[in-house]
Chain A
Amino acid sequence: MNSEEDKPKNNNLLVLGIGVLGIAVVFSFISLFLYHKSGDIYLDRSRPGFLPEKSTTSETVKSYHFPSEGKFTKTDLEEYLRELDKVINELDNLERPFSPDSLSDQNLNIAD
């Protein structure tokens, strides 16, 4: 008698379990879709082989932040230009970022 009464309860538990799994799968797919669609996947440093080298992360001007208040002085402006030059030089030192040559037929060895 007891085992017959337990049957609907067991069924409910099964439906609940499958339902929860179903919802988890749907939400996982949605989040993976958004992760891919938003482009975040291409910025994710934790992917294997995608961790940046220490040399490619800049530390030189990390602490500098130009104050947005106060009078302009010659010293302030000179310091500003010095610090700005550091960032611009880093950009200049980067050898042709995203150069189209990397994907050229010659470079990929598929030219005639």
Chain B
Amino acid sequence: MKKLLIFFLFLALILPAFSAAATNSTSRAFSLSSHCHSVRNQLKSIQVLDSHTRIFLGSSYNKLSEHFITPFNLRLVYNNQPNSQLFNLQTEFVTNRQKFNQSFTEYSQDLESLLSTSCESEPNQFLIKLDQTKKSRENLSSLVTTLKNQAKKHRQLVEEILKKYE
């Protein structure tokens, strides 16, 4: 009897949460179906803008790595002043740049898969793919922030070296 009571109590606690989630999902799917055309157009615009951003960021990261960070560290070695912090930062920057390339490919594949799903006939499937695309975009966004912070950290360490010459 006690076990049955506990079970019903558990059900009473858990059912409203499931019900709320189901209602929310249904309302999202309904809202999506009614705005399907504009959602698709918006996603296509985002896809084009993202492509431009990727090219710009890719060329900036390449410039930072090839024209600044790597030759700077080589020059430190040339002058017998290797700096472990700067070397570690270079390794991390290169690794994160590769992760950024990989993440962008994954995100683009998710976005393309989303765009190839019909939001009119398969709204629930579309929403699942949308949530997946959001996750991969968040991952990409955090890598962009990390890479920018690493470039700033490199600048800060170089500034400390400059102070020794003043």
- A residues with a Cβ closer than 8 A to B are 38-39, 41-43, 45, 49-50, 52-53, 56-58, 61, 64-74, 77-78, 80-81, 83-85, 87-88, 90-92, 94, 96-100, 102-105, 107-112
Q: Compute how far the CA of A39 lies from the CA of B99 in the bound complex, rounded to whole angstroms.
A: 13
**Cβ contact within 8 Å between B59 and A68:** no
- B residues with a Cβ closer than 8 A to A are 24, 27-28, 31-32, 35, 38-39, 42-43, 46, 48, 50-60, 63-64, 66-68, 70-72, 74-75, 78-79, 81, 101-102, 104-105, 107-109, 130, 133-134, 137-138, 140-141, 144, 148, 151-152, 154-155, 158-159, 161-162, 165-166
**Cβ contact within 8 Å between A50 and B48:** yes
Question: Would you mind naming 29 contact pairs between A and B with Cβ atoms under 8 Å apart?
Answer: A43-B54, A49-B48, A56-B55, A56-B56, A57-B56, A65-B71, A68-B70, A68-B74, A69-B78, A74-B166, A77-B165, A78-B162, A80-B68, A80-B158, A81-B159, A81-B162, A87-B68, A91-B151, A92-B148, A94-B56, A96-B141, A97-B53, A100-B134, A105-B28, A108-B39, A108-B42, A108-B43, A109-B31, A109-B39
